[in-house]
Amino acid sequence: MDRIVGGKYKLGRKIGSGSFGEIYLATHVDTFEIVAVKIENSKTKHPQLLYEAKLYNILQGGSGIPNIRWCGVDGEDNALVLDLLGPSLEDLFVYCQRKFMLKTVLMLADQMITRIEYVHSKGFLHRDIKPDNFLMGLGRKANQVYIIDFGLAKRYRDATTNRHIPYRENKNLTGTARYASCNTHLGIEQSRRDDLESLGYVLLYFLREVSVVINNINPSLPWQGLKAATKKQKYDKICEKKLSTPIEVLCKSHPVEFASYFHYCHSLTFDQRPDYGFLKRLFRDLFSREGYEFDYIFDWTILKYQQAQRAKTQPRLSPVSGGMSARAMPMDVDKQQASAAADTSHQEVIERVGPSNVPKPAVRMQLKTTGDKFYSSESQRLDKQRVGSGTDKGSHNPVHLRFQACRRRMLVPITLGRPMLLKFLEVWATTMALRVVGFLLCSAMLQPNDFVGIADGLEEEILMCS
């Protein structure tokens, strides 16, 4: 029997799990809208889901904050129903072979600083800044960064007095050791500066400098991959490595703005409000200096497009006679055109049969119908009757040559498109009728020079159509 959470959300498959519990897809029984449901056993030692739901309610309305749909106790579980979001930045980082280009990192940094600023403006610290806790949206919000998972968040200002929490030491490490600030490792109470320092480590993690040495990948953060017997020993090793690595060494492979970012974070006092605008301008100036355009084209956007392009072009490039694809070969080309097309390079073929959802040069074709063949053969028959078949006289007859030229111009290249094609066919039908009448009148009453005038008129009308 399907489980219904909150009386209206039918639980589906599991899409994630963690120390807090599990995440499921769910469908609204009336609207069939798909949402995400976080479930936590209400008897767990340290329940946090209902506390997290309170924070979501406080943060509601902010850009990049998922909407809360329902929260409460469902049977023996605590449940939280939220908007369904897209992949996390960690998922996308893996998808892009664990390397983001500078442009992508700077576009993400701008939004991530804004999200942290908003959380701080509501009086809370996140305290677990990491790639897994930033998700991209879906649909029209696919380019928007969302911040999630407030289970470790803490109020740093008193709700009534607005006073900052006091400075304290000997605190346990809260958050993820890889991205934790130096002060957090030292047991100092976290404040706004620590969220921003953690974000700096996330950005360096994304700017991974890959170097293969004896089949080992050099990690972007020096304290990644450290081994230890216990978790505490590992945290101590990370702390030692983090504190002993100068900022200039940490950022040596990256633009100077990243070192400036860390220097600014380390200069902040415990209760000082960070200048979020300064940090965003720091990266925006770098973005402009590099000549980038804020077009929301991330690395994964390009990768998905390239994969879709390959999927679309490969079937169209299947071999056909003459080594051309069926899409690339013009319709009813003559022998000279077919020979030239067969020599077209592979790159030219790819450009001509590229995916239909991107701009490309207009495909052109030649219109040569059965009716044209009929009138062509009819004109040849009349020409033979008038000037004789296969003689030099017939082959140089001015009327014959003029109409051959006119007939060749009927093979007018036109851009594919229904309105233009219909217009062309309309004019073509008219000119064909005039051509037959012309042939019939030619032998009876017109002189060659008169017939040339008719041909000129036909040519002008055809050219106007094309």
**Which stretches does DSSP call E strand in 143-228?**
145-147, 154-155, 212-213, 216-217
Question: How high is the pLDDT of residue 118?
Answer: 98
Tell me, what CATH number does 299's domain have?
1.10.510.10
Report the number of distinct structural domains present in the chain.
Answer: 2
- What residue type is assigned to position 394 of the chain? G
From CA 451, how far away is CA 439, in angstroms rounded? 9
The active-site residue out of 74, 77, 128, 149 is: 128
CA–centroid distance for 451 within its chain: 61
**pTM of the full structure:** 0.67
Residues 51 and 113 in one domain: no
- Catalytic, 332? Answer no
Mean pLDDT to the nearest integer, 216-227: 75
Q: Which residue has the higher pLDDT, 461 or 90?
A: 90
Please check whether residue 245 lies inside any domain of the structure.
Answer: yes
Q: Is a pLDDT exceeding 60 seen at residue 412?
A: no
pLDDT at 344 over 60: no
Strand 4-5 and strand 21-28: the pairing is: unpaired
The beta strands (E) that lie in 172-218 are given as 212-213, 216-217
Angle at which helices 256-267 and 192-206 pack, to 10 degrees?
Answer: 160
Please write the tens of the pLDDT for every residue from 265-275: 999 999 999 99
Query: Any idea what the CATH number is for the domain that residue 45 is in?
Result: 3.30.200.20
The predicted structure's pLDDT at residue 37: 96
**214 lies in the same domain as 269:** yes
For the chain, the farthest-separated pair of C-alpha atoms sits apart, in whole angstroms, at 114
Section 348-360 average pLDDT? 37
The answer to whether the annotation marks 38 as part of a ligand binding site is: yes
Q: Are 205 and 274 in the same domain? A: yes
Q: Are residues 47 and 185 in the same domain?
A: no
Same domain, 154 and 113: yes
Same domain, 159 and 46: no
pLDDT in tens, 18-50: 767 899 999 999 999 999 999 999 888 888 899
Q: Give the list of residues 6+ apart from residue 425 with CB closer than 8 angstroms, or none.
A: none
